[in-house]
Amino acid sequence: MVRRIAAGALGVWLCLTLWSTWDLKAQVNGAVAEGRGGAVATVDARATEIGIDVLRRGGNAIDAAVAAAAALGVTDPFSAGIGGGGFMVIYLNDGDRIVTLDGREQAPAAIDQTLFQDPDSPTGELLPFFPQRISSGLAVGVPGTPLEWAEALNRYGTLSLAEVLQPAIALAQGGFIVDQTFAQQVDRNRDRFAAFSSTQALFLPGGQPPAVGSRFRNPDLAKTYGLLADQGVNAFYRGEIAAAIVDTVQHPPAVAEPPFRILPGAMTLTDLDLYEVRMRPPTVTSYRGYTLYGMGLPSSGGLTVGAILSLLEGFDLGQGDRSLAWHRVIEAERLAFADRNAYLGDPEYVDVPLAGLRSPDFIAARRALMGDRAPASPDFRAAPGNPLLYQSDPSPSLTGPWPTAQLEEQSGSSTTHLVVSDRSGNVVSYTFTIESIGGSGMVVPDYGFLLNNELTDFDPVSPHPNSPEPGKRPRSSMAPTLARSPEGDLLAWGSPGGPTIITTVAGMAVNLIDFGLTLPEAIAAPRISQRNTGPTQVDGGFEQTAIGQRLGELGHRLDPVAEIGAAVGLIVRPDGSTLVAAEPTRRGGGWAGVVER
Ligand code: GLU
């Protein structure tokens, strides 16, 4: 299966020739592309370009995905990078199989359920979420991204980690031109970044965010990627990078008088040493003749997208009143999130009642709760259902009282998603993150990358399936998705955006499958997001459309927000022709490219 066809010569070529003659416009010039031979879409032109070039030079989709991801670690360091984690869903043409890799961050062994309690509070008060919880050593999980890249390449790639890192090393060393999004993300994090000397030095040179149009270089990150290339991924989990990570977590590099209290974390070298990437079965959902494959626990993504669509399958959304159809989507999302919030957590730790949650009778019972109008109170919260009534396994750890989620999930625009296909028909759908934009705010001194704050995805109050425990992975919303259409098309899509990832991915399915939108239309369309939190968030002026007005008449309170998601996707047709698309405007817009136009 694993073919290691490429010689070191390819890596040398990539390093020496490609980046000196790099002409972006020649290969990637917009948010939509159509062609064959392979395709890439990411939020960043350089990352897409690098992915396309790896494909052009004979790399497969897995090689190109890792090369593009490493480039995003350079150009979009506030959303994702080697200091974080993610989930990769891969279609392998050889054997017609779907595999998924869980590279989620993991809690250190020395934490317990009091993780986010104020150590000075006699009553165990929780630390404020912002900035104390998110900008601390406490919040940092053991990163999974470097090992996920190495595992994906070892198992399914054709190039080595050293080879696919070369373009990103050149990019970090040579630099790139700062755009509005990059500068804005620094500006919005200015106070947090200024609290850490290493972060200030890298991202606030002279106390200011890098100017739009200036060249940003990150030689420390080039060095770190170089260590991974030369010494292998163990440089990160056992070598000098591991030591630097542990030191940063245990002794945050705070400035002399930080503007807020910065608490250390408990990560050790052993935590890094023992980290493993887990191969998981995909979630599988049938929806109107399509089969969707998603990411299973500890991500709630695939299961919750599946729950929403399973609830919707009982209605004919494609015909008739479009506002009634969106009303159904809102109500399905509300119920699916009530169950997600109550039951889903790391399957290594929690006996999740999956059989019940997925049983047709449970879904039918939940669907019966969906009325033709919104609930009377705009602050209504749906109660979770009881899946134990629909399965024979009693799941003793969950026999009530039903846990109530306490986590106030942020619906930010952090995280990033990329899709890649290759000439052999392999497809990668990959979402990865460092949690908040800017993660924990802590750059590992001398190594040039931000550490995640992923442990804030734990529900801070116990007992709960998603409460902090030693070695546990916090529940995620990431939903990298693949789907097979009745006509044999292979689709891939995904989005950033915290818990709105789930509603964006499900909403795109509805737009594509029920409403017949094209892929670029489904990516650009205004969005709705209901997560059992009272009002329904919308973007893109949805509230002003005729459908939005009618939803108001049906009792929905719509809450306009600036942006929901920034999706990318592709469709490979049975004849190999491929349509690939990125978000046109949200987050500054993304970039799509194909190998042959
Ligand atoms: N931590 C989030 C999750 O795993 C991703 C970060 C975000 O997109 O806000 O679901």
Residues of the chain with pLDDT > 90, as a percent, come to: 89
- 412 pLDDT band, cuts 50/70/90, is low
pLDDT tens-digit map of 32-63:
999 999 999 999 999 999 999 999 999 999 99
Task: Give CA–CA dist 361/426, Å, rounded.
Answer: 36
Q: In this structure, is residue 138 part of a structural domain?
A: yes
Q: In this structure, is residue 186 part of a structural domain?
A: yes
pLDDT at 549: 97
Q: Which of 499, 524, 498 is nearest to 511 (CA)?
A: 524
Mutation test residue for ligand 1: of 133, 457, 587, the one with most atoms within 8 Å of CB:
457
Q: Which of 424, 572, 419 is nearest to 94 (CA)?
A: 424
Q: In this structure, is residue 288 part of a structural domain?
A: no
- 12 pLDDT band, cuts 50/70/90, is very low
Task: Give CA–CA dist 527/562, Å, rounded.
Answer: 11
* Residue 67 pLDDT exceeds 90: yes
* Residue 212 pLDDT exceeds 60: yes
Query: 390 by DSSP, 3-state: which?
Result: helix
* Residue 465 pLDDT exceeds 70: yes
478 Cβ below 6 A of ligand 1: yes
Q: What's the structural domain count of the chain?
A: 1
Residue 535: what residue type? P
Contact present, 540 and 528 (Cβ < 8 Å) = no
Closest residue by CA, ligand 1 atom 7 = 498
Task: Give CA–CA dist 571/508, Å, rounded.
Answer: 13
* Residue 522 pLDDT exceeds 50: yes
**Active-site residue flag, 415:** yes
- What stretch of H or E contains 38? strand 32-42
Q: What is the mean pLDDT of residues 358-376?
A: 97
Q: Which of 586, 572, 578 is nearest to 504 (CA)?
A: 586
Q: Judging by DSSP bridges, how do beta strands 32-42 and 416-422 pair with one another?
A: antiparallel
Give the pair of three-digit tokens for residue 156: 């399914």
Q: In this structure, is residue 521 part of a structural domain?
A: yes
Task: Give CA–CA dist 354/284, Å, rounded.
Answer: 13
Range of the domain at 426: 29-109+132-277+415-596
- 367 pLDDT band, cuts 50/70/90, is very high
Task: Give CA–CA dist 224/14, Å, rounded.
Answer: 18
* Residue 10 pLDDT exceeds 90: no
In degrees and rounded to multiples of 5, residue 21 shows phi and psi of -115, 30
136 Cβ below 6 A of ligand 1: no
Residue 596: what residue type? E
pLDDT tens-digit map of 266-320:
999 999 999 999 999 999 999 999 999 999 999 999 999 999 999 999 999 999 8
Q: Can you name the residues that pair with 450 across neighbouring β-strands?
A: 443
Which atom of ligand 1 is found nearest the CA of 457? 1
* Residue 394 pLDDT exceeds 90: no
Tokens 């029920």 -> residue: 514
Task: Give CA–CA dist 184/571, Å, rounded.
Answer: 32
First-to-last alpha carbon distance for the chain, in angstroms, is 29
Residue 8: what residue type? G
Mean pLDDT for all residues in the chain: 93
Contact present, 527 and 564 (Cβ < 8 Å) = yes
Where in 442-563 does DSSP place strands (E)? Answer: 481-484, 490-494, 528-529, 536-538, 558-560
Q: Which of 513, 518, 491, 495 is nearest to 564 (CA)?
A: 495
Give the pair of three-digit tokens for residue 56: 């052009």
Note the helical H segments in 17-84.
24-27, 45-56, 61-75
412 Cβ below 6 A of ligand 1: yes
Gyration radius of the chain over CA positions: 23
pLDDT at 39: 98
- 5 pLDDT band, cuts 50/70/90, is very low
pLDDT at 29: 79
Mutation test residue for ligand 1: of 476, 503, 564, the one with most atoms within 8 Å of CB:
476
Note the helical H segments in 96-218.
145-156, 161-174, 180-188, 190-194, 197-203
Q: In this structure, is residue 19 part of a structural domain?
A: no
Contact present, 9 and 164 (Cβ < 8 Å) = no
Query: Out of 182-196, 385-399, 448-462, which region has the weakest mean confidence (pLDDT)?
Result: 385-399
Tokens 């070369």 -> residue: 166
Task: Give CA–CA dist 363/360, Å, rounded.
Answer: 5
494 Cβ below 6 A of ligand 1: no
pLDDT at 409: 76
Residues 6+ apart with CB under 8 A from 203: 186, 189, 193, 209, 210, 443
497 Cβ below 6 A of ligand 1: yes
pLDDT tens-digit map of 247-258:
999 999 999 999
Contact present, 469 and 124 (Cβ < 8 Å) = no
Q: In this structure, is residue 1 part of a structural domain?
A: no
pLDDT tens-digit map of 524-580:
999 999 999 999 999 999 999 999 999 999 999 999 999 999 999 999 999 999 999
Which atom of ligand 1 is found nearest the CA of 415? 8
- 4 pLDDT band, cuts 50/70/90, is very low
CA of 206 to the centre of ligand 1 (A): 31
Q: Which of 30, 89, 78, 40 is nearest to 60 (CA)?
A: 40
Angle subtended at Cα 15 by Cα 10 and Cα 18, rounded to the nearest 5 degrees: 90
Where residue 488 falls (left for φ over 0; alpha for ψ -120 to 50; beta otherwise) is left
Q: In this structure, is residue 480 part of a structural domain?
A: yes
pLDDT at 51: 98
CATH number, domain at 53?
3.60.20.40
Which atom of ligand 1 is found nearest the CA of 474? 4
- What stretch of H or E contains 550? helix 546-553
Which atom of ligand 1 is found nearest the CA of 456? 1
Q: Which residue of the set 181, 415, 500, 578 is catalytic?
A: 415
Task: Give CA–CA dist 96/287, Å, rounded.
Answer: 20
Closest residue by CA, ligand 1 atom 2 = 498
Peptide bond just before 282 cis, omega within 30 deg? no
239 Cβ below 6 A of ligand 1: no
Q: What is the mean pLDDT of residues 420-449?
A: 98
Q: Which of 497, 473, 477 is nearest to 142 (CA)?
A: 473
CA of 472 to the centre of ligand 1 (A): 16
Task: Give CA–CA dist 263/278, Å, rounded.
Answer: 30
Q: In this structure, is residue 120 part of a structural domain?
A: no
